[in-house]
Amino acid sequence: MSADKPRSPIESGCPDGFQYMHPVMRKNYGAWKFHEHPKPGVLRHVGFSGDEIWTVRVGTQRILDIFSLRELCDIGDEFADGFIHFTIRSNVEYMVADPAKVEPLIKAITDKGYIVGGTKNSVTMLSHTQGWLHCDIPGTDASGVVKSMMDELIDEFRECNMPNRVHITTSCCQINCGGQGDIAINVQHTKPPKINHDLVSNVCERPSVVARCPVAAIRPAMVNGKPSLEVDEKKCICCGACFPPCPPMQINDAEHSKLAVWVGGNHSNARSKPTFQKLVAAGIPNNPPRWPEATAIVKNILQAYKNDAKDWERINDWIERIGWPRFFEVTNLPFTKYHIDNWRGARNSLNASTHIRF
Amino acid sequence: MAKKIYETPMLDELENGPWPSFISGIKKLRDDHPDERIQAVTSSLLGQLEHSYETRKGYWKGGTVSVFGYGGGIIPRFSEVGAAFPESKEFHTIRVQPPAGNHYTTDMLRQLGDSWEKYGSGLQTFHGQTGNIMFIGTTTENTQHFFDEINGYGWDLGGAGPCVRTAMSCVGASRCEMSCANEHGIHRHLVNNFTDDVHRPALPYKFKFKVSGCPNDCQNAIERADMAIIGTWRDDMKVDQVEFKNYLDAKGENGRQYYIDNMTSRCPTNALTINDDDTLTVDNRNCVRCMHCLNVMPKALHPGDDHGVTVLVGGKRTLKIGDLMGTVVIPFKRMETEEDYESLVELAEEMIDFWAENGLEHERTGEMIERIGLVNYLEGIGLEVDPNMVSSPRQSSYIRMDGWDEEAEKWFDRKAEAANA
């Protein structure tokens, strides 16, 4: 190929996964009978054919350097059957058809410093956004928060001591790429953006920025003789939605970008319909490199859930049963005016009954 | 070439503790990688990240970078502090579509890793929140070289920007007894019909497909996808009474009470009865396929055989009007024949076309439906109303209803048609 002639892409799209699937999984595709959970981190699936596949689930640092990726492949080649599956929470899964391979595989994994667990009623890997490492609008880091929390929650990952599974998510801005979680640790800005008026007209498409504001708090203005934007700070909800389309509207602040904790997001239809997470704690310092205040609140909530919830109750099911007043009581978190919703649909969240626990 | 080593006292703290450390991994690239280019890039990256930790600010800004023939798929990153950390001043991420279901051979992972080592930083993530393999950190020039190489052996870019995004599906039928759908097939049929819309962002905003094989929705489709496809079944669930009794017996003398408290009484429609002889009766007409009892007793309870999918539209996260769950638009659709797959793809085309015409800039499908109302949306994409689409009928009387007779007739006509089919 000539070096100066650009190559046209092959628009192949999403590759067929069957070619990379463990042969036992390919053979039994759509014909699995049941699964068991012999121990934390290990699943045994049995097909109608009688075939078995054993899965060992592994937590990693997620941001993988090439050495670690090759190490994980080496383990796969030597101790598993050369196949790797990733869960949607970025855990690695090795699959083996022969149960005798399970223990040597676990040993190889743990010898290399990776963590076996994350199955069933454990605290599985935090879902993880990009943060300071790579995002253009982050209020905090993601990898560092996850690393710090997983250091503290590692036993809950390795064991299955929770009433049901716990999905924890992080998000580095209020767009919340991390998604819904049983517990979510999300950035919450508390001050309006600081505007660099010298740059706005060069960098920002002003009508788009005005349109982006959820509460119509931004309007075009001439500032120091230059076309710029101004923010009605009484209306501003400090969400940061103007920052991605207009970087001179700096929302991130070393002191005033805080963390908030939300609970009860659940994507499953099991028992109740899927639920969104609800605010429980805010004003938590964004405190690198270890974020101890946020971790302490998460551990506190997990402890209360573990003590009080019944088997199979997810955090939302548990709170539905005990009620929000008791949640704030058992977690010792303050209930404030900020917990009462005033966004669209807010009335649906108010108690229009005499259903009150005493 | 002596690389510059930055002091990283804060990041060093993240090397402590038992969980694997991404900082140790990046340092290993800096200190031990044979390629001086990778050493220098990762050293510079650590310097900038430490600077972020110290000042609690991010220092990347976006831009416009793509590969020849495409408009998207790359997350361009230029450093705002490139003068201080010059080796990583261009540090783009390349989004690559994973195979449906996230299955890999070690050989394929090594091949991808080798290519990235040649052109990038040696850092990668499986996978980002949109579902892509994230190859993190390369220059504008090497973006093209890396893409050319991996595209040559079967990998394509994912979506970034206002476009159809990379799709996601759960592990599903490849390893799960709950699966009621060919997630893999649905995933690829849908997203690969829209490769043009993946690679050339020209829509109001993002559009995501996610597929879960059962209502456990491990893929978070209802919450996060503009079009969620969830496997389900229509006939009776299967009950293995012997295994059911084994579950009770395994809990000893309290087995019965345990499963009454934790299984049958949690059934959202009270559709389960444990009989006096320790058998289970299921009121299948009232089962809403929530999956709770199947999750509790996977060996005894199993989905039925009449498989299909439920389709929901409009799930999304916060920006701009707040989080929205998807809404049912198709309660049940069989996915057996080629025509079934074609009609699902056609429905997706209708949805995307209607939204492309009617969505405002930066407005997701769910927000558009919120603005125009579900009925207008259904008319726009050619679907009839169905009571499964609502939690309850309207409670406000403030609506003009002078078309009532015609609408009621349509309902009876549709019912008659269905009865004759």
User: Cβ separation of B217 and A21 shorter than 8 Å?
Assistant: no
Q: Which helix (H) or strand (E) holds A327?
A: helix A324-331
**Closest Cα of chain A to B343: distance in Å?**
20
Interface size A-B, in CB pairs within 8 Å, comes to 369
Domain that holds residue A59: 17-116
Mean pLDDT of chain A: 96
Length of chain B: 421
Q: What is the CA radius of gyration of chain A?
A: 24
Look at strands B93-96 and B133-136 and give their pairing.
antiparallel
Assigned domain for A281 exists: yes
Task: Give the per-residue pLDDT at B322.
Answer: 87
Task: Give the per-residue pLDDT at B2.
Answer: 67
User: Cβ separation of A289 and B105 shorter than 8 Å?
Assistant: no
Give pairs for B191-195: CB < 8 Å, separation 24+.
Answer: B191/A13, B191/A14, B191/B97, B191/B164, B191/B166, B191/B167, B192/A13, B192/A14, B193/B345, B193/B348, B193/B349, B194/B164, B194/B348, B194/B352, B195/A11, B195/A12, B195/A13, B195/B156
Burial, B386: exposed, middle or buried (Cβ in 10 Å; 0-12, 13-18, 19+)? middle
Give the pLDDT band (50/70/90) at residue A234. Answer: very high
**How many domains is chain A partitioned into structurally?**
3
Mean pLDDT (whole number) for A124-143: 93
A116, A144, A165: which is the final residue of a domain?
A116
Domains of chain B: 1-160 (3.30.70.2500), 168-234+306-392 (3.30.413.10), 238-302 (3.30.70.20)
Q: What's the number of CA atoms in the CB half-sphere (13 Å) around residue B51?
A: 17
pTM for the predicted model, two decimal places? 0.96
Helical segments of B164-290, H only: 183-193, 195-199, 221-224, 241-250, 255-262
Task: Give the per-residue pLDDT at B316.
Answer: 93
Beta strands in A203-289, from DSSP E residues, in sequence order: 218-223, 226-231, 249-250, 257-263, 278-284
Q: Is the pLDDT of residue A128 over 90?
A: no
- Side chain identity at A233, as an amino acid letter? E
Write out the two tokens for B287. 């089962």
Which residues does chain B have with pLDDT short of 50? none
Do A75 and A88 fall into the same domain?
yes
Q: What is the CATH number of the domain that holds A181?
A: 3.30.413.10
Assigned domain for A147 exists: yes
Assigned domain for A122 exists: no
Do A72 and A98 fall into the same domain?
yes
Do A154 and A280 fall into the same domain?
yes
Find the distance separating the first CA and the last CA of chain A, reported in whole Å.
Answer: 78
Do A259 and A181 fall into the same domain?
yes
**Closest Cα of chain B to A108: distance in Å?**
15
- Per residue in A296-353, pLDDT (tens digit) is 999 999 999 999 999 999 999 999 999 999 999 999 999 999 999 999 889 999 999 9
Do A334 and A218 fall into the same domain?
no
Assigned domain for A349 exists: no
Do A316 and A228 fall into the same domain?
no
Q: What is the CATH number of the domain that holds A233?
A: 3.30.70.20
**Closest Cα of chain A to B406: distance in Å?**
32
The answer to whether A105 touches A80, Cβ cutoff 8 Å, is yes
Task: Give the per-residue pLDDT at A252.
Answer: 95
The alpha carbon of B236 is separated from its chain's Cα centroid by a whole number of angstroms, namely 29
Residues contacting residue A297 through CB under 8 Å, at least 6 positions apart: A261, A281, A284, A333
Do A239 and A335 fall into the same domain?
no
Do A186 and A220 fall into the same domain?
no
User: Cβ separation of A33 and B302 shorter than 8 Å?
Assistant: yes
Nearest CA in chain B to A267: B220
Task: Give the per-residue pLDDT at A265.
Answer: 97
Give the pLDDT band (50/70/90) at residue A68. Answer: very high
Q: What's the number of CA atoms in the CB half-sphere (13 Å) around residue B95?
A: 27
- Nearest of A301, A293, A292, A294 to residue A329 by alpha carbon: A301
Do A162 and A291 fall into the same domain?
yes
Do A138 and A276 fall into the same domain?
yes
- Per residue in B184-238, pLDDT (tens digit) is 999 999 999 999 999 999 999 999 999 999 999 999 999 999 999 999 999 999 9
Alpha-carbon distance of B419 to A49, in angstroms, equals 38
Nearest CA in chain A to B176: A32
Alpha-carbon distance of B274 to A312, in angstroms, equals 18
Mean pLDDT (whole number) for A51-68: 98
User: Cβ separation of A310 and B262 shorter than 8 Å?
Assistant: yes
Task: Give the per-residue pLDDT at A141.
Answer: 95
Give the pLDDT band (50/70/90) at residue A3. Answer: low
Do A183 and A65 fall into the same domain?
no
Assigned domain for A329 exists: yes
Q: Is the pLDDT of residue A1 over 80?
A: no
Nearest CA in chain B to A250: B57
Alpha-carbon distance of B275 to B244, in angstroms, equals 12
Task: Give the per-residue pLDDT at B102.
Answer: 97
Task: Give the per-residue pLDDT at B1.
Answer: 53
User: Cβ separation of B25 and A77 shorter than 8 Å?
Assistant: no
Residue that is written with structure tokens 């992972």 in the block: B109
Residues contacting residue A244 through CB under 8 Å, at least 6 positions apart: A136, A137, A175
Do A22 and A108 fall into the same domain?
yes
- Per residue in A191-220, pLDDT (tens digit) is 999 999 999 999 999 999 999 999 999 999
